[in-house]
Structure 1
Amino acid sequence: MNGWLLAAGITASGVAATHLIGGHRDVVRPLLSSGLAEEPKRVLHAVWHMVTVDLALSAAVLLHLALADGTSGTGLMAWFVAAHFVAYSIAFLVITLSVGWPKPLLRLPQWILLLPVAALTAAGTA
């Protein structure tokens, strides 16, 4: 068993749960009650659910890779998941820093949850 990938999978599971529960309360409810036109509102709602599925599947893959340590393709798949979480982190950082908010890194702190998954996953591939 690969402890780093297990830690990454557990952390990713927490990220997925946080997204599902906290995101529904803080993002989906306000979105659905907003005055935004129905079509873009429903597209954004669907995209939110797509991200939920993506985060949950990534967590499942990491947990599987932790148990299948040394199996052919484990390293490549782990690097793919790590890159995936780095890309999500970069997206949040770029958007947050481009707005010009005071204390921007705490306004959209999702990167704080995403980046550790990438780091743990990368450590598990070394």
Structure 2
Amino acid sequence: IEAAGLQRPRYNQIEASAACAMDEELHSYHAAHGIHTLAYSPLGGSYTPKLREQLRTAGAVSSVAARLGRSPEQVLLRYVVQRYDAVVLPGASSVKHMVANLDLFRFELSKEDVEAISTSTPRECAYPMYQPGQIP
């Protein structure tokens, strides 16, 4: 983008969740250049119900949620907000879900919580990213 003389974007929308880790180089680039990350599928993706359930029931997610009096979904959303300094774009099928999504800004996870979630959740992206030449 810069080499072509184009203006750097202000936002980059990528998949980011406890299961689909954001590339550290990209995360650093965003931070260094003032690019905001918009995280889609922060709960694992609507087309991957098995992954969504694995995330919700992961040991660390369940224990952190119980300790904080939050839902597993709130913990997973808060994880993405804190871990990647990202704006999350969760879906909401009811007013109750919309209120719960907004409530994730009323609590924080400890560094230990973030690390435990990072190491105890499955590693799988709902929508894998491919580099040029890697597309199956």
| Shorter-chain TM-score above 0.5 | no
- From the two aligned structures, give the one with the greater helix fraction: 1
Q: Which has the higher contact order (CA 8 A, sep 6+)?
A: 1
- From the two aligned structures, give the one with the greater strand fraction: 2
TM (norm. structure 2) is 0.25
TM (norm. structure 1) is 0.26
